[in-house]
A and B are shown apart, each in its own frame.
Chain A
């Protein structure tokens, strides 16, 4: 019998801890498939965040480092600058990347570090139980914006791809979503392109992925997919925000 669907080699054969209906797992799989297809698992060093993906180091078969909250881009810089032939990626949530780690994120962009950032935007802090994130949308209820995010109190959400696109060292910034099959395919394409850009030393590549958090959104997995479509996409339009790769 021919195998039509199997676990990517770069993915570890262990159960994941993610909640049912969470799309973190889909993105993990896509990254692993890309590591396989580009044949770079052996060169790859992944940097896990603090957030729901903290255990990403258990799920990828490449060498992994667990960074402090928000510091993954700086850790990745340390690896890449001392091992330019490694393929280095970070996997970060929105609190990690756009709140506590904003400076690190902006500066790897400005320096054009040859690393790849896989950025999960789920509009809240998943791991700590659904608090407001820098990407929480106006009006969105979280445990720390219980009356809905009010621009006069909690300020406005940050649009990461738009922000990163302003930085000269960023080679590639695209926002995708994994709430349907088409989106999953587009996400894989974007992740592959991002890694290719790194291999070709083009500069920083970042893929922002609109992702679900059914647990903290208080929605069923199916409703959560719909939330991405109806609530998140209008605020965070999909698309390529920067591309100097020439591919």
Chain B
């Protein structure tokens, strides 16, 4: 297939269908409503279902049921809606169910705004649900990547039996770029013999529950899940490095801001400043090893985020605070410019 021009949100929806996700449950909220609308149009044509739930709470619990019965499924929302889903997400984690959840972030707190934001970084990577848990979090930075990572998200979810969160923002969702769906790779997926879809008299019953009143049993179930997280940590961490080999200053940015930073890095290089960029593609697990390695040669770090400074904590932890980490951010829906980032890089100096 040739490349097609698509909006980020539509690319995600089409990629999900191409990945064999024929069940979508959601509730409208800007800036991601196109996904539900796209699904509503396309699903009946491919023998699938797009169901508008009565709330995000219900939508995530429909996902819980669909995933528990062994079906590839997806829901999408934006910040306030994701908060509502958090209880359900925790149950999904507690039952080790695979599914894909998309957050096209908008500004907050509260009803906030509808402009692009990365203010849900902490929520996504630290606490999208109660209890000892993590999500696998992917952060695309282009429409092509939105498509590719969506497809992969389903495979990763099924491989490890984990929910995968795709963390995007309004700018990526609305952006139009060419997409090639042919580049997408598929993985081998284990059979879902744990699913609750009727035993048909052929096996013992399957129970999917996150309730363990016995502290030891609960501890063991959490420990087993953390073993799985360790494997994910070993195999699935991903980042892009741009001009970091000899970089004295390393800019860290993901998603939409990484595109601004890339231009700023290029501009700074033209001025002779030794600067590079590391772009986490997986936010959780975080590319900590890669950053640590860069801290051996770089003398300063700069995180650029559409929030008041959230990922910066992970950068500091990754490099064990061995180098100064500066921050440049905008919040509420405004975007920094290439010039803003360039000015910050120049202000930080750096060896030429």
Residues on A lying within 8 angstroms of B by beta carbon are: 41-45, 47-48, 54-55, 57-58, 60-68, 71, 74-83, 85-87, 103-104, 106-107
> Is the CB–CB distance between B196 and A79 below 8 Å?
yes
Binding-face segment, B28-36, B65-73, B110-118, B337-345: B65-73
Q: Does B207 lie at the interface of the complex (its beta carbon under 8 Å from any beta carbon of A)?
A: yes
Bound complex: CA of A47 vs CA of B64, how far in Å? 11
> Is the CB–CB distance between A78 and B208 below 8 Å?
no
Q: Does B190 lie at the interface of the complex (its beta carbon under 8 Å from any beta carbon of A)?
A: no
Of the four ranges (under 10, 10 to 19, 20 to 34, 35 or more), the interface on chain B belongs to 35 or more
Question: Could you list 22 examples of A-B contacts with CB < 8 Å?
Answer: A41-B199, A42-B201, A62-B205, A63-B197, A64-B196, A64-B205, A64-B206, A65-B64, A66-B210, A75-B61, A75-B64, A75-B65, A77-B62, A77-B65, A78-B69, A79-B69, A79-B196, A79-B197, A81-B51, A82-B49, A82-B73, A83-B197
Bound complex: CA of A48 vs CA of B91, how far in Å? 13
Bound complex: CA of A55 vs CA of B58, how far in Å? 22
* A62-B205, A64-B208, A66-B208 given; A79·B54 CB < 8 A: no
> Is the CB–CB distance between B196 and A82 below 8 Å?
no
* A44-B198, A57-B207, A65-B208 given; A78·B68 CB < 8 A: yes
Q: Does B336 lie at the interface of the complex (its beta carbon under 8 Å from any beta carbon of A)?
A: no
Bound complex: CA of A94 vs CA of B209, how far in Å? 21
Which residues on the A side are within 8 Å of B210 (C-beta)? 66
Contact mask for chain B residues 60-91; partner A; CB cutoff 8 A; 1 contact, 0 none: 01111111110101000000000000011001
Contact mask for chain B residues 271-309; partner A; CB cutoff 8 A; 1 contact, 0 none: 000000000000000000000000000000000000000
Which residues on the B side are within 8 Å of A86 (C-beta)? 69, 197-198
Q: Does B102 lie at the interface of the complex (its beta carbon under 8 Å from any beta carbon of A)?
A: no
CB-nearest residue of chain A relative to B94?
Answer: A66
Tell me which of A41, A47, A83 has the highest count of chain B C-beta atoms within 10 A of its own C-beta: A83
Which residues on the A side are within 8 Å of B63 (C-beta)? 78
B196 in complex: contacting residue of A42, A45, A61, CB < 8 Å: A45
Bound complex: CA of A75 vs CA of B53, how far in Å? 12
Q: Does B154 lie at the interface of the complex (its beta carbon under 8 Å from any beta carbon of A)?
A: no
The minimal Cβ–Cβ distance linking A200 to chain B, given in whole angstroms, is: 18
Given contacts A41-B201, A71-B58, A82-B49, 17 further A-B contacts (CB under 8 A): A42-B202, A44-B198, A45-B198, A55-B211, A57-B209, A60-B205, A63-B199, A64-B196, A71-B88, A74-B57, A74-B59, A74-B62, A74-B65, A75-B64, A77-B51, A79-B65, A106-B54
Which residues on the A side are within 8 Å of B197 (C-beta)? 45, 63, 79, 83, 86
* A68-B88, A75-B65, A75-B68 given; A104·B211 CB < 8 A: no
Which residues on the B side are within 8 Å of A106 (C-beta)? 54
B87 in complex: contacting residue of A41, A65, A68, A104, CB < 8 Å: A68
> Is the CB–CB distance between B66 and A79 below 8 Å?
yes
Q: Does B25 lie at the interface of the complex (its beta carbon under 8 Å from any beta carbon of A)?
A: yes
Which residues on the A side are within 8 Å of B57 (C-beta)? 71, 74, 103-104
Bound complex: CA of A43 vs CA of B51, how far in Å? 23
A63 in complex: contacting residue of B23, B54, B207, CB < 8 Å: B207
> Is the CB–CB distance between B196 and A65 below 8 Å?
yes
Tell me which of A64, A74, A78 has the highest count of chain B C-beta atoms within 10 A of its own C-beta: A78
